[in-house]
Amino acid sequence: MKHVVLSAMRPTGRLHLGHYFGALCNWVKMQDECECYFMSADLHALTTDYADTSNIENNTLDMLADWLTVGILPEKSTIFKQSEVLQHSELFLILSMLAPLGWLERCPTYKEQIKEIKNKDLNNFGFLGYPVLMAADILLYKSDLVPVGEDQLSHLEFTREIARRFNNFYGQTLIEPKEKLTKTTKLPGIDGRKMSKSYGNSILLGEEQDTIKEKVKNMFTDPQKIKKDDPGHPEGCVVFAFYKIFNGKDFEKRYEQCKQGGVGCVLCKFELTEILCEFMKPLTEKRKTIICDKTYLKKVLEDGRCKASQTAQKTMSEVWNALKF
């Protein structure tokens, strides 16, 4: 039996290399082995952006263009918008009846975001219920394997617990999913912190060549390596972290060279620029074509909506049966 995979991202705008190596390249691979559903979590975007919804639709199209650019294929995967498959809202409502407040209030992501996000009022029912909606997303497709980052593990644990609770009350209906963590080396942003749009330290998918040059120039390197023949510490160097991902097996040679003071940061950056530009060029061109073709993007989402709805409807009729409604 094929694994059923559901994964999603909130539509927050254009994606960057961190998304690519952290998630998307994994999604692309899974398409061949599993039955895949990839969703724009636009209702989840609403949990934080309810006061200004003006960007959500465009962000979804930007994100979709990025997915298609890196090789998520509508022929292989079901690609859709959460808000257009109404069963997400339906199952969310039912699960919310079974969701103990304590589980939600204890959720580490919830506590963290309430503390960190100060520019928005997050004291809402919907925000507290974020994991309930995510559980509905996953359980609706009987997905047994969910590719997520480590930050989402508590939500997945919540999904398993709520599925178990449902099954205990009403009989075996929902499937408890397992996580699939991506095993890539983490790609830092150009300043060495986690790559993130909000830090302004990211390299976008489809970034222009000039901007790539500029960004590599600004990458943080080993502060103790001042002259080019000073011995360096590649472990903490952003340029080296990129080498490790982009330069395949040659990165070990570069590691030794840097440690022995055999190569300077300027040359290292120059070479990385070349590698990155070459990697990005075809993607940038492909993305431009895709993002201009709004009719195509809409059609992908419409086909996805039809396919996803069929599965979702089937699960929901089982859910209503289990509830004896």
Q: How far is the CB of 80 from ligand TRP (least distance, A)?
A: 12
> Per CB under 6 A, does 5 bind ligand TRP?
no
> Per CB under 6 A, does 128 bind ligand TRP?
no
> Per CB under 6 A, does 59 bind ligand TRP?
no
- Stretch 60-99: interaction string toward ligand TRP, x if CB under 6 A: ----------------------------------------
> Per CB under 6 A, does 7 bind ligand TRP?
yes
Q: How far is the CB of 57 from ligand TRP (least distance, A)?
A: 17
Beta bridge partners of 148: 181
Residues 149-178 that bind ligand TRP (CB under 6 A): 152
> Per CB under 6 A, does 8 bind ligand TRP?
yes
Out of 46, 65, 85, 134, point to the residue binding ligand TRP (CB under 6 A). Answer: 134
4-9, strands of its sheet edge to edge? 78-81, 35-40, 4-9, 145-148, 178-181
Q: Of the listed pieces 1-9, 96-104, 246-254, 303-311, which binds ligand TRP according to CB under 6 A? A: 1-9
Whole-angstrom Cα distance, residue 70 to residue 40? 16
Q: Which residues bind ligand TRP (CB under 6 A)?
A: 6-10, 41, 44, 134, 137-138, 146, 148, 152
